[in-house]
Structure 1
């Protein structure tokens, strides 16, 4: 018997009762003598700290106190993700090396106790509409997750806010802003889909594109809603939301189906936000797609995959809009790791791309980093001067990539593919955001170990 799905607006109560979210904050942990040692052979920039601590420390909120002096690092130990482990999550400060010599830093784990006002905690709150869940840091909205059941055919995050509350994603069609272009109804702020999966289109699929006439080729990405064992997890009906100082994570289990509801793919996605400084937002997305009972074929198309639509004042074409148009600006800039800019970056393979431009009177940038273990790294980029910004590891034909590039592929039943991306919202352009150095830290993370004195 299939249990009735839990309404999204009731998640906060449900998650609290289930032990997935605390009633107000995580329990104050007991004192710990744990030492966290971080070693690196290169400068670390925008580098999250994720380490299993086992039974060495209880779940809760902590500070990492550097033995060499300096500011403490707010971190949280989460329990039960993944597979019952205790995981410490936070963000390391910038660590620089000298003369090419390796650097080692040691930190003592200290319970946070009374919350320091300088380290505002993340918190999930029930959204204002069915199917939504808000993420806040202190009093500031970071983003809202929509499961898509109320207004779309896929989950999405909207808006994606820079520190201070400035949206760096387009508002249309969810909450249009004056002067915004109204093209591409399916570009819902920040999403993950693909245009050819077993001949179904999950990219353009959107009720607004159907104009009242259902399109049988449109796929759906929905909450799983049916408990069913898989190789890595049981499939809950609701997201698993965890939040504290230093980090927050949202894990969703989704089904990719055709228009008739027949399931093709299981998607397991963990999105983790890290607290850096007051100017930078960092999130990691870890996605696993598993074929179910039948083979799943990913076709050759430019329409994919890990994408967002930047705020209209940030796009390159903003300078071409009419005088007096609220979405007109000096225009933005696209640049990839090889230095190709704007239209030249479209369809090219690169380890990262940065899109920067003016938003609410200030220059903001958004960078997407492609993990080195991803399929076809460095990925091709479906990034447009009108504001679309997407990493596409599969498409080949439209990008004029050679036959030697792996393109379309098929997952056998039970076979899975894992994709990881890092998103950095930062002030200024890619140089001010130190995106090249951030990718080096992403590709070559530090060695981390825990020590019990």
Structure 2
């Protein structure tokens, strides 16, 4: 996040500074641990999140995510299951970025649950190296490289992603800038609902469920999501067009927020799109069962009257995506604040 965006965040939080908004003492410190295949991100010495890339995951992810108070906002399953969690969609872990149709390969739904004899239909994202780490009082940066591969290990895309971590008082912010470059073959992203940047949230952020649900992925595989105990479940989605709850799904929007109370803590999470992204404004792929996703590469799949969205990269061509993730505690994010953040995000 550039200095201008940090300043607008401070303007947005100015009216709550009396409740404890302060500058970081230690700031952001990023600690790589090659043996554990992770990079910890600390804010004032406390764990905010970790970039993890273990061999048994089909993509690198940020996991877990915490508020400024240390409260978990991401689901534990399948890495660290917690009581009363849903056990569906094992490919939903932390905060991630991938897509359901890249040269016909499904990167989104790949996980340990896919049988070996079906892996040829799926793609994986493999961490390659850490390119840069920068610590700082206001922000810290982590830049990494990865390959998008088919089941044989052939790279379709080279990925370079820069994470910019920042915070102040009750706020934590992640800016993700991802550049994808086609390698030997032309790469085609074809309209698909499974994408693009997503968070699988903690149970408290789900919408209360009243009946079982059945979901199909792009390959026609079924996932049953059962009715569960709704105690403490109170999540509410809202987008920049003032739509709420289930009406958010499939709609183009500049930002989507998800708010809930967890153990007496009022928390909001938001994903902001950038005007320079392909497919802006992105369609929301946010589900009441806990999938919070924003999709720049799906259009007709959400609106049958829209044209088919296809993004083609010839060998050597690059596409870049920018997204902002905001986690706010001690009070919910308002439309006014999110619109200010969105406007400033657009300016850089």
- 1:308–1:324 distance in 2 versus 1, CA, 3 Å: closer
Q: Match for residue 316 of structure 2? A: 414
Aligned counterparts, 1:143-158, within 5 A: 143-149=49-55, 151-158=56-63
Cα pair 2:209 2:228 within 8 Å, conserved:
no
2:36 is the alignment partner of 1:130: yes
Cα pair 2:24 2:138 within 8 Å, conserved:
no
State which of 321, 341, 344 in structure 1 corresponds to 2:244: 341
The CA deviation at 1:138 is 2.2
- 1:252–1:91 distance in 2 versus 1, CA, 3 Å: farther
Distance 2:34 2:141 in 1: 20
Normalized against structure 1, the TM-score is what? 0.67
2:28 is the alignment partner of 1:49: no
Q: Match for residue 223 of structure 1? A: 127
Q: Match for residue 148 of structure 2? A: 256
Q: Match for residue 139 of structure 2? A: 247
SS at match of 2:269: strand
- 1:118–1:390 distance in 2 versus 1, CA, 3 Å: closer
Distance 1:214 1:323 in 2: 30
2:78 is the alignment partner of 1:173: yes
Aligned counterparts, 1:9-158, within 5 A: 48-49=2-3, 91=7, 94-95=10-11, 119-127=25-33, 130-149=36-55, 151-158=56-63
Q: Match for residue 227 of structure 1? A: none
- 1:324–1:204 distance in 2 versus 1, CA, 3 Å: closer
Normalized against structure 2, the TM-score is what? 0.86
Q: Match for residue 114 of structure 2? A: 210
Q: Which has the larger radius of gyration?
A: 1
Structure 1: gaps (5+ residues): 1-46, 51-88, 97-115, 225-236, 446-453
Q: Match for residue 18 of structure 2? A: none
The CA deviation at 1:126 is 3.9
Structure 2: gaps (5+ residues): 13-21, 213-225
- 1:294–1:387 distance in 2 versus 1, CA, 3 Å: same
After superposition, give the CA deviation of every residue in 1:132-156 in whole Å (9 maximum; x if it has no partner).
Answer: 111111231000111242x211000
Distance 1:170 1:314 in 2: 10
Please provide the CA RMSD for this pair: 2.7
